[in-house]
Amino acid sequence: MRLAQLDSLAVKRHSFLHSWPTGPKLVATMILLAGIVAASSLRQGALLLGFLLLILFSARLPLWLFSFILYPAFFSLPFALAQLPTSPGQAIMILCKAASAALLLIILVASTPFPQLFATMARVLPRLVIDVLFFSYRLFFISLRALENLLSSLRQRGTFDRRNWGWSSWVTLQALGHLMINMIATSQRLEQNYRLRGYQAGVYYGAMDYRWRVADGLLLALLLAGVGGVLWFG
Amino acid sequence: MSHIHLPDGVLPVSWWLLAYVAAFIWLYLALRQAESEKVRRKLPFLAAMSTLMLLTMSVPLGPLPVHLNLTVLTGIIVGPWLGFVAVFVVNIMLSLLGHGGLTAVGMNTLVTGLEVVLGWWLYHHLFKTWRLSWRSLGATGMALLLTSALALSLISLSTGVISLWHAHSHEELGVEQAAALGNSFQFLGLSGVMALVFILACGLVTEAIATWGIVSYLQKVRPELLMEELEP
């Protein structure tokens, strides 16, 4: 998983998309997602996908982001193939929708740091959910080093040798158990550290307020009109 | 199907909206259970299990289009209510990474959440007299079998695959075309429904064995994790 690279992209890159505040960006994502889900013809799907590609290239985001659309495209394959003999167009639409929606969300994540996303999501989701999201995010990066060390030591001991796959699988499962215990211990330490700093609940509950600008409203209205136009005339 | 995260654009709008409402009601009930300070202290367990699920759900198992979920293990460790919160969180994170649609978070959470609850119940109640590791194997296998069957039926109904199959194989299409429809999905030389059943069976067996292996290790190192009920 390339979560670390995605996070780095969101924090270190600079583009018009990165500098757009999270709130309006999230609303824009919802408008585009609604358009993708509502698209009913190949032309509509292609226009929306083209628009996403335009955003991707103009924000100078790397091409490896396309690798993220393979999973949803693959998982939508059974549904697309079931439609193929009767309606090939519909089958392509299913693939196109799944890929476009995944690309849209990847563009959002690659241009917005996760903590900012969580802070905005805290306005609609319960506090405990946001806390778990934030802790899981922190823990993921803290555990990455432990995972790398574990994998190296397993490789050095010949764990991934194909000749003895039964033993290899057994050791890998034991290593997963070890990683789990390690994660729980790290998570407990993390929570203790937060408690020492006065944390009770709702890490991002008091996230700073953003004042919406007229330009944000205009951009969103333009986007809404664009997506509506594609769905109406496309 | 429990190992296939539904992407956007596959489910009809009414179905995913209904699934969202049901998932939020379930989440509300789960959070009401988790209000006490005792459960608040279990936040590290919840975060650790969510991170572990996030890791395992992101790694495909070789040529098979399946991955480990570890939902039943999560249910065993943190209980059914907090386990549901964990799968909701993981589904949100995964949908942001393009794995499973944002509109399908409700349906994906309901299916995986059902695995958590069923697995927890089977582990702590139905197989109570068995050895811990065998309990986890039985609970995972049975929970996944039931949820996969339910999810497959629901998704087939919602997407119209069953009605399409039925109508076309009897009326509009000829025998050869109907056979082509059934055989249109191919995997490792298997075709149609058999291929899908094979993929699901592989996912089920892999998940059950993985849970059994991890629980065997935990039994030796931290047995209290498997015994303690973390619910209030």
Prediction ipTM score: 0.87
Question: Any chain B CB within 8 A of the CB of A176?
Answer: yes
Q: A23, A210 in Cβ contact below 8 A?
A: yes
Q: B10, B104 in Cβ contact below 8 A?
A: yes
Query: Nearest Cα to B209, choosing from B133, B123, B122?
Result: B133
CB contact under 8 A, B98 and A126: no
Q: B203, B111 in Cβ contact below 8 A?
A: no
pTM: 0.86
Handedness of CA B39, A126, B70, A178 (dihedral sign): negative
Which one-letter amino acid corresponds to residue A106? I
Distance of alpha carbon B202 from alpha carbon A151, whole angstroms: 25
Residue in the block written with tokens 């609303």: A27
Question: Any chain A CB within 8 A of the CB of B205?
Answer: no
Predicted pLDDT of residue A220 = 92
Distance of alpha carbon A106 from alpha carbon A63, whole angstroms: 12
Predicted pLDDT of residue A163 = 76
Distance of alpha carbon B97 from alpha carbon A129, whole angstroms: 18
Q: B119, B76 in Cβ contact below 8 A?
A: yes
CB contact under 8 A, B97 and A109: yes
Question: Any chain B CB within 8 A of the CB of A4?
Answer: no
Question: Any chain B CB within 8 A of the CB of A168?
Answer: no
Query: Nearest Cα to A184, choosing from B120, B45, B127, B176?
Result: B45
Predicted pLDDT of residue B169 = 45
Query: Nearest Cα to B196, choosing from B138, B148, B139, B157?
Result: B148
Give the residue, B65 or B101, on which the prediction is more confident: B101
Instruction: Dump pLDDT digits (tens) for B67-119.
Output: 788 889 999 988 888 899 999 999 999 888 888 888 889 988 998 999 999 99
Mutual angle of helices A3-12 and A127-156, in 10-degree steps: 120
Handedness of CA A135, A140, A144, A147 (dihedral sign): positive
- What letters, b where the CB count within 10 A reaches 16 and e where it falls short, cover A177-203? bbbbebbbebbbebbeebeeeeeeeeb
Q: How many CB atoms lie within 10 A of CB A94?
A: 26
Residues of chain A with pLDDT > 90, as a percent, come to 21
Instruction: Dump pLDDT digits (tens) for A118-137.
Output: 888 888 888 888 888 888 88
Q: Is B208 exposed, middle or buried (CB count within 10 Å of its CB: 0-12, 13-18, 19+)?
A: buried
Of A74, A176, A184, the CB nearest to B214: A176
Question: Any chain A CB within 8 A of the CB of B191?
Answer: no
Of A6, A84, A191, the CB nearest to B44: A191
Predicted pLDDT of residue B18 = 93
Whether pLDDT at A105 is above 90: yes
Question: Any chain A CB within 8 A of the CB of B148?
Answer: no
Of B96, B180, B214, the CB nearest to A109: B96
Nearest CA in chain B to A185: B44
Give the residue, B185 or B13, on which the prediction is more confident: B13
Nearest CA in chain A to B45: A184
Predicted pLDDT of residue B4 = 67
Give the residue, B231 or B99, on which the prediction is more confident: B99
Whether pLDDT at A197 is above 90: no
Distance of alpha carbon A220 from alpha carbon B60, whole angstroms: 38
Predicted pLDDT of residue B119 = 92
Distance of alpha carbon A13 from alpha carbon A122, whole angstroms: 25
Query: Could you tell me the two tokens for A182?
Result: 């390690």
Backbone dihedral region of A205: left (phi > 0), alpha (psi from -120 to 50 degrees) or beta?
A: alpha
Question: Any chain B CB within 8 A of the CB of A102?
Answer: yes
Give the residue, A162 or A38, on which the prediction is more confident: A38
Mean pLDDT, range A140-145, rounded to an integer: 84
CB contact under 8 A, A75 and B181: no
Question: Any chain B CB within 8 A of the CB of A140?
Answer: yes
- Tell me the C-alpha to C-alpha distance, in Å, between residue B3 and each of B27, B82, B158, B232: 21, 21, 18, 30
Give the residue, B186 or A105, on which the prediction is more confident: A105
